[in-house]
Structure 1
Amino acid sequence: MHVSPVTISRLQAALKGRVIEPDDTDYDQLRAVHYGGFDRRPAAIARVADAEDVAAVIAYARETGVELAVRNGGHSNAGHSVTEGGIVLDLRDLNAIDIDVEGRTAWAQSGVTAGAYTLAAEAHGLATGFGDTGSVAIGGITLGGGIGFLVRKRGMAIDHLLAAEIVTADGQILQVDADNHPDLFWAIRGGGGNFGVVTRLRYDLHQQGPIVGGMLILPATPEIIAGFVAEAGAAPEELSTIVNVMPAPPMPFLPEEMHGKLILLAFMAYSGDAENGDAVIAPFRALATPLFDMVQTMPYSGMFPPEEGPDQSTAVARTMFLDTVDLSVAQMIAEYLEASDAVMRAVQLRVLGGQMARVSNDATAFAHRDSHILANVAAFYESAEERPIREAWVDGFTDALEQTDKGAYVGFLADEDSSRVRSAYPDATWNRLRKIKAQYDPANLFRLNQNIPPATD
């Protein structure tokens, strides 16, 4: 639907925040999202100042029928943070953090980045686990689940969510928790942005001193890949790892003869007593002589490098769960990676379990607590003509990797078909989410997301 200057002016008059239009000098900067390949031009970008502003933008979208995109940090793999011709509800200015040190809780607005939150909490010796990237906004990653560097020891981000403030499709500003609108509180913990716009979140915090963490790079033979995954599963729950198997980029700290050869680039985070860290990391170092080893005692915030702007990389990516990565699976991974000539291609593996798995599957809308390994396959491309080639490779690779766990992590889904969204939720979870969607957003106003359609019966 066409958006007229008159209605845009009406929207601006209703907001404390600012409305950015295509003629504004910062329009291109503000419509950019983290990933490349999404060159969409919204009719306006509403940088909201508070929940009342959010309600006004929602009312505008509801009344005009224009497509509404909700942006937290702009990290949606599917480009859902921006719309073509619609309105972007931009939450980046909602960045206040209020920490109750004695009570070990924090209220944070949804535009706060994981890096900023981590630094603020760390000043008091506290932490809440989110993901693995500092520039991700806490609102977006929490609604999807949040699988990061503390997942085995502390669980997912949603496991630490105590309450939230959410603006629903009818403009109500609700406080939700286990006692108030418990169905909605259940749904937003893994159901994404389908049910409203979350403006504030309340988390619990735990004591967190220095960790033993950082980057470890090993050569990537099938034996080393399988061995690493086995060690990650056997390690104490205080250790969470994220490992990327990929051809070595021309990093200055890697031997030149390794450039282009397969490496295992792992991020290690041991959150137990630092004096035990070397013993926990030792089995991984014993797999092969490390090519690069920066695993050391450091603040937990050291896992998040300084925040940067959008990298605009273009890639085809798929996410899935695996039951195991044994030697035969590791051999397949190596063979597929060697067979592609993409400028960059990778398989990322995150061994799960621990505290994440001790939460009941029906406790939250994320219902894959029993999954063993989260895997992501990606191939980067440099032109539109190249994309179908990379897509075919990724599809073939993920088909070959598929095991008995057919689920998907909604937080990592890309721009895929509705069947993939459906695979993120078991039947009982899906049906319950659709009923809650029908209650809070029957017209599916919040549809630019990994969409859960409202129940119609």
Structure 2
Amino acid sequence: MTEALSTLAGRVAGTVIRPGHPEYEAARRVYNGMVDARPAAIVRCATEDDVVAVVRLAGEQRMDLAVRGGGHSVPGFGTADGAIVADLSPMQTVVVDDAQRTATAGGGTTWGRFNDVTAAHGLATTGGILSTTGIAGLTLGGGIGYLGRAHGLSCDNLLSARVVTADGTRLTASEDEHPDLFWALRGGGGNFGVVTDFTYRLHPVGEVLVGLMFFELTDGPAIYRFFDDMLDEAPREYGGYPSVHLAAPLPFIPEDRVGQPFAVVISCWTGDLEEGERFYDRFRQVATPAAEMVAPMPYPALNALFDPLLPPGLQHYWKNAFVSELTDDLIAAHMEMGARMPAITCAMHMYTMDGAVHDVPSDATAFGHRDARYVINIAGMWPDPAENEDNIAWVRDYYAAIAPHSQTGGYVNFASPDDQQKAPDNYGANHRRLTEVKRRYDPGNLFHLNQNIEPSPVPPPRADQG
């Protein structure tokens, strides 16, 4: 293997970083500080040729292959002990076609980079909640964000993908080319190949009205109930979600309330700003916010708003669930567990799954839970490893409290390492079809460092085939 890695270093345009290299310690780190793996090599792929070379080497040498885009995978799937890492971070070119309203972006692109480029054209597509997240992992798992009610999931806006498959083949997947693979890429995660380029549909998005409204937990049930009731008639210009946070030391938070738990509504309005102000006032009619910030800002600024609170290196342990109905008992569980939130960097977000997300038939893409109304993410995030045991226990207790009100399975992008056995339920009704696509494109399961889909067995020959 040592000789093979040395040969690879002479063949690729990017840098091969191995133990002993001055950049190794920094290069092996991923976003989740709880992950401390030591790969055999990190290859900073500069070109698609580099990706092909890494994939072929991993197959030939029977090495574990980790694929890293933004590095935000909570289980740390972008690395592994003894693995070869295809690090796509140098591949961040973004090209916008104004006439077609599309953008093609390299597989290592972050949403911050993508949004900055497309915003210069007055355009955007559904991205994540942090700008440091990679477009690749988020899109392949589905892609939930502020623009989802208006424009669907990130994967719903994917028009084509350039893919390197397990045998090193390069191909383009779209509705017209390799449609089975294109279907699987939109929700099936990184199970089918390395996507080196994504082409997205874009939408006109300029300045948005951002709202952060902090309500007392005692007002939380009324606010959550109002939010749920208004979803059915809310304009699609509204993208927002209920949450629970401990108040961070922000300018609009009273000093004596910092660190206290609140029921929070985080909002984005993409329409007329005055109309958005009137819409937000509906929340104030339910309860008076204890603190709030409502202001217009460019969409990329909203996408980066929480970045300073959540730098790389925090300890991360998450649990999540889809729910069909926001019951009173579920709301009560949120208030009870939210009051016990252990760190300012922790959060519970209840992302909406309605609007344009429900316009797409459940079998049109691999994303398996379009019948849900919300996906609840219990994001345990804290700086001190000494607090891991207690804080992980809080996440698990919270998850246990909401489980009786939840669907079977969760969102693959929010899953933790110990959720691997739930993969069939996480992919939902589309899992069986995904195993068949996996067999066609990755029969040896080279791409297994993910929420893994095992290839289906080779079907027996028909009687008329002998």
TM-score by length of 1: 0.93
Cα separation, 1, equivalents of 2:42 and 2:82:
10
Distance 1:127 1:380, change over 3 A: closer
Q: Is the 8 A contact 1:43 1:84 kept in 2?
A: yes
Q: Deviations over 1:405-446 (max 9, x none)?
A: 22311111111243321211224x111110111111111111
Amino acid at match of 1:219: E
Q: CA deviation at 1:252?
A: 5.1
Specify the alignment match of 1:247 in structure 2. Answer: 246
Instruction: List runs of 5+ in structure 1 lacking aligned partners.
Output: none
| Aligned with residue 117 of structure 1, among 111, 114, 117 | 114
- Residue 315 of structure 2 aligns to which amino acid in structure 1? T
- In the alignment, the residues of structure 1 paired with residue 48 and residue 247 of structure 2 have an alpha-carbon distance, to the nearest angstrom, of 46
SS at match of 1:229: helix
Query: Quick one: which of 405, 408, 412 aligns to 1:406?
Result: 408
Kept in 2, the 8 Å contact 1:190–1:365? The answer is yes
> Helix, strand or coil: the match of 1:193?
coil
- Aligned residue pairs total 453
For residues 335-350 of structure 1, what are the structure 2 equivalents within 5 Å? 335-339=336-340, 345-350=346-351
More displaced, 268-277 or 41-50?
268-277
SS of 1:319 mapped into structure 2: strand
Instruction: Between 254-263 and 332-341, report the one with greater CA deviation.
Output: 332-341
When residues 270 and 341 of structure 1 are mapped into structure 2, their CA distance, relative to the original with a 3 A threshold, is closer
Alignment pair present for 1:449 and 2:450: yes
After TM superposition, list the pairs within 5 Å mapping 1:304-319 onto structure 2: 304-305=303-304, 310-319=311-320
Is the Cα–Cα contact under 8 Å of residues 238 and 270 in structure 1 kept in the other structure? yes
Which aligned runs of 4 or more in structure 1 are off by greater than 4 angstroms? 306-310, 339-345, 380-386
Aligned mates of 1:256, 1:448 — CA distance in 2: 44
Match of 2:224 among 199, 223, 226: 226
Counterpart position of 1:437:
438
Q: Which amino acid aligns with 2:190?
A: G
Q: Say if 1:345 and 1:129 are closer, same or farther in 2 by CA, change over 3 A.
A: closer
Q: Aligned partners of 1:411 and 1:74: how far apart in 2?
A: 12
C-alpha distance after superposition, 1:8-62 (max 9, x if no partner): 2111112111101222222222211111101111111101111111010001101
2:26 is matched with which residue: 26, 29, 32? Answer: 29
Cα distance, 1:332 vs structure 2: 2.0
Summarize the Cα distance change of 1:384–1:297 in structure 2 as closer, same or farther, 3 Å threshold: closer
Instruction: State the shift of 1:292 in Å.
Output: 3.1
CA contact (8 A) 2:214 2:292 kept: yes
Letter in 2 for 1:412: F
Q: How does 1:259-408 map to 2 (within 5 A)?
A: 259-305=258-304, 310-339=311-340, 345-380=346-381, 386-402=387-403, 403-408=405-410
3-state SS, counterpart of residue 427 of structure 2: coil
Aligned residues with identical type, % of pairs: 38
Q: In structure 2, what residue type is equivalent to 1:149?
A: Y
Residues 230-239 or 267-276, more deviating: 230-239
Q: Deviations over 1:137-161 (max 9, x none)?
A: 1111110111101000110111111
Once residues 123 and 383 of structure 1 are traced to their aligned partners in structure 2, the CA distance between those partners, rounded to angstroms, is 39
**Does structure 2 retain, via aligned residues, the 8 Å contact 1:232–1:240?**
no
Q: How does 1:142-153 map to 2 (within 5 A)?
A: 142-153=139-150
SS at structure 2 position matched to 1:294: strand
Note if contact 1:347-1:378 (Cα within 8 Å) is conserved in structure 2.
Answer: yes
Report the CA distance between 1:381 and its aligned residue.
Answer: 5.5
Distance 1:271-1:86 versus aligned 2 partners, 3 A rule: same
Write the distance in 1 (CA, Å) between the matches of 2:328 and 2:133. Answer: 34
Deviations 1:292-336 (A, max 9, x none): 322222222221227679521113210111223344322222222
Q: CA deviation at 1:398?
A: 1.6
Residue pair 1:35, 1:310 contacting (<8 A) in 2 also? no
- For residues 302 and 380 of structure 1, the distance between their equivalents in structure 2, rounded to whole angstroms, comes to 22
Deviation of residue 267 (structure 1)? Answer: 2.4
Greater Cα offset, 238-247 or 130-139: 238-247
Opposite residue 273 of structure 2, the aligned amino acid is A
Q: Is the 8 A contact 2:324 2:371 kept in 1?
A: no
Distance 1:422 1:326 in 2: 26
Q: Deviations over 1:115-141 (max 9, x none)?
A: 111121111111111111111111111
Please give the secondary structure, in 2, of the residue aligned with 1:293: strand
Say if 1:213 and 1:268, in contact at 8 Å, map to a contact too.
yes
Contact kept in structure 2, 1:358 and 1:369, CA below 8 Å? no
- CA distance, structure 2, for counterparts of residue 357 and residue 56 of structure 1: 40
> For residues 304 and 85 of structure 1, do their structure 2 counterparts lie closer, same or farther at Cα, with a shift above 3 Å needed?
same
Secondary structure of the equivalent of 2:410?
A: coil
**CA–CA separation in structure 2 for the residues paired with 1:310 and 1:441:** 35
Give 1:207's aligned residue: 204
Deviates more, 1:83-92 or 1:318-327: 318-327
Q: CA RMSD in A?
A: 2.1
- Contact conserved, 2:254 with 2:291, CA < 8 A, in 1? no
The residue that corresponds to 1:69 in the other structure is: 66
CA distance in 2, matches of 1:338, 1:139: 35
Deviation track 1:61-109 (CA, whole Å, cap 9, x = no partner) reads 0111111110000000111011112111000011111111011111111
Q: What whole-Å deviation, never above 9, does each CA across 1:350-392 have from its counterpart, x for those lacking one?
A: 1220010110000000021121011012334666664344334
Which piece of structure 1 moves more, 304-313 or 216-225? Answer: 304-313
Matched, 1:423 2:453: no
Tell me the equivalent position of 1:258.
257
In structure 2, C-alpha distance between the alignment counterparts of 1:38 and 1:65, rounded to whole Å: 23
Inter-partner Cα distance in structure 1 for 2:28 and 2:437: 31
Partners of 1:46 and 1:88 within 8 A in 2: yes
1:264 is displaced (CA, Å) by: 2.5
